[in-house]
Structure 1
Amino acid sequence: METIDLLISDCDGVIVDSEVIAHQVLFEALAEFVPADQLHAGLEGTFGLTVPSIIDLLEKRFDLSLPASFDEDLRCKGERVVAERVQAIPGVREALMAIDLPLAVASNSRLHNIQASLRRAGLTERVAGNVFSAEMVASPKPSPDVYLLAAERMGARPGHCLVVEDSPTGVLAARRAGMRVIGFTGASHIPPGHDRVLRELGVEKVIAHMRDLPATVTAMQQPPPR
Structure 2
Amino acid sequence: MNSEGNILRALIFDCDGVIAETERDGHRVAFNRAFKEAGLDIEWSVEEYRELVKIAGGKERMRAYFNEHRYLLPPEVLNDEFINGLHKRKTEIFTEMNARGELPIRPGIKRIIQEAHDRGVILAVCSTSNEKSVRSLLRAVLGSERLDWFDGIFAGDIVKAKKPAPDIYNLVKDRFGLQGSECFVVEDSRNGLLAAKSAGMHCMVTVSFYSIGEDFSEADMVVSSLGDPDQPMEIIKGHPNMSDRPIRYITLDVLEKML
State whether TM-score is above 0.5: yes
CA RMSD of aligned residues (A): 3.2
The answer to whether structure 1 residue 79 and structure 2 residue 92 are counterparts is: yes
In the other structure, the counterpart of 1:49 is 56
Does structure 2 retain, via aligned residues, the 8 Å contact 1:111–1:133? yes
Q: Within 5 A, what are the aligned runs for 1:38-187? A: 40-41=47-48, 43-44=50-51, 46-47=53-54, 49-63=56-70, 66=73, 67=77, 68=79, 69-84=82-97, 85-99=102-116, 100=119, 101-120=121-140, 121-122=142-143, 123-127=146-150, 129-185=151-207, 187=208
Q: Structure 1 residues 64, 48: CA separation in 2 closer, same or farther (over 3 Å shift)? A: same
Unaligned runs of 5+ in 2: 234-247
In the other structure, the counterpart of 1:25 is 30
Q: Structure 1 residues 223, 53: CA separation in 2 closer, same or farther (over 3 Å shift)? A: closer
Does structure 1 retain, via aligned residues, the 8 Å contact 2:13–2:186? yes
Does structure 2 retain, via aligned residues, the 8 Å contact 1:163–1:182? yes
Residue type of the alignment partner of 1:88:
I
- C-alpha distance in 2 between matches for 1:136 and 1:145: 9
| TM-score, scaled to structure 1 | 0.78
Q: Name the SS of the counterpart of 1:87 in structure 2.
A: coil
Once the two structures are overlaid, the 10-residue window that deviates more, 147-156 or 71-80, is 71-80
- C-alpha distance in 1 between matches for 2:64 and 2:252: 36
Residue type of the alignment partner of 2:105:
A
In the other structure, the counterpart of 2:237 is none
Once the two structures are overlaid, the 10-residue window that deviates more, 116-125 or 161-170, is 116-125
Could you list the per-position Cα deviations for residues 158-196 of structure 1 after superposition, in whole angstroms to 9, with x for gaps in the alignment? 2321100112221121122121111012x5xx14x71x5
Unaligned runs of 5+ in 1: none
| TM-score, scaled to structure 2 | 0.69
Does structure 2 retain, via aligned residues, the 8 Å contact 1:134–1:146? no
Identity %: 22
Task: Report which structure shows greater RCO (CA 8 Å, sep ≥6).
Answer: 1
- Across the two proteins, how many residue pairs are aligned to each other? 216
Higher helix share: 1
Deviation at 1:8, TM superposition (A): 0.7
Q: 2:257 aligns with which of 216, 222, 226?
A: 222
